[in-house]
Amino acid sequence: MTTTPTVLITGCDIGIGREFARQYHADGWSVIATFRDLANAGDLAEGMGRFQLDVTEPAQFEALKKNIGDTPIDLLVSNAGIGLDIRKLGDLDYDYVRRMLEVNTVGPLRLVDTFRDNVAASRHRRIVAVTSRMGSIALNLSGGHYGYRSSKAGLNAIMHSLAIDLFPRGITVVMIHPGWVDTAGGGAEQAAVPVEESVASMRKFVSRLGSHETGQLFDYKGIPLPW
């Protein structure tokens, strides 16, 4: 008997998370889509699980865990994040820098900590963090974007440690840069990669992941990126 796989995706309000939900649902997966604001769930297909989750709110993690219970999660996609870190030295918004760290770095850690047992109980046992090549120290040749770069570098470091810690449980953890995607956060007018193409490519890569690739950083086509 074939069991329908389940994916939990954060940040389905717009862009990449929303497209992940659409594509996995179209392929027959059981989709648990989470939204910072449930009002944004309106036009997604019926049949998806729709839950509120602001990744900076511990109580909302607890509520979601209570709703899901012990449901096995084959794929956990940590996608929720914020960017648009464009201020320069002398005009930095430190409250926003802290907000980026809380959303982009601490939130994904809490997500994995909350649902690691659900992932371990599944057949596929995969965790994907949507990151950015701007979190790569080796690829930083232009400076700036202090909050965003540090939040994604921190995310990568956390996920690498999680890959080591969760390896004994058979869980594969990877970080994927989605490309410069045509979304509100990616700068739609200049972005090179349509969101549908980015998500389809990431899904194709994730579907063939091997445990030997755990803890690594890739682009959306599965090409390794430097740290």
Say yes or no to pLDDT of 3 above 90. no
Residue 86 lies in a domain: yes
Axis-axis angle for helices 94-101, 146-166 (nearest 10): 20
Select which of 152, 204, 220, 221 is catalytic. Answer: 152
- Residue 89 belongs to some domain of the structure: yes
pTM more than 0.75: yes
Q: pLDDT value at position 190?
A: 55
- Is residue 63 domain-resident? yes
| Amino acid present at 82 | I
Q: What is the pLDDT of residues 97-109, one digit of tens each?
A: 999 999 999 999 9
What does the pLDDT read at residue 46?
A: 78
Lowest mean pLDDT among 10-24, 41-55, 92-106, 126-140: 41-55
pLDDT given at position 188: 47
pLDDT at 158 over 90: yes
* pLDDT (0 to 100) of residue 43: 79
130 and 18 in contact (C-beta within 8 Å)?
no
How large is the average pLDDT for residues 11-27?
Answer: 96
Question: Comparing 20 with 2, which gets the higher pLDDT?
Answer: 20
The domain tally of the chain equals: 1
**Whether the predicted pLDDT of 184 surpasses 60:** no
Q: How confident is the model at residue 182 (pLDDT cuts 50, 70, 90)?
A: low
- Residues 127-152: what's their mean pLDDT? 96
Domain of residue 39, CATH code: 3.40.50.720
> Quick check: is 149 in a domain?
yes
Q: Is the separation of the CB atoms in 12 and 34 below 8 Å?
A: yes
- pLDDT tens per residue, range 198-222: 999 999 999 999 999 999 999 999 9
Q: How far apart (Å, rounded) are the C-alpha atoms in residues 96 and 99?
A: 5
For a pLDDT cut of 70, what percent of the chain falls above it? Answer: 95
Q: CA torsion 75→198→137→76, rounded to 10°?
A: -10
- Say what the pLDDT of residue 25 is: 96
Mean of the per-residue pLDDT values for the chain?
Answer: 94
For residue 1, being part of any structural domain is answered with no
Domain that holds residue 94: 6-219
The one catalytic residue in 24, 65, 66, 146 is 146
Residue at 158: amino acid letter: I
Establish whether 152 is a catalytic residue. Answer: yes
Say how far apart CA 103 and CA 130 lie, in whole Å.
Answer: 12
Q: For residue 14, tell me if it sits in a domain.
A: yes
Q: Is 148 a catalytic residue?
A: no
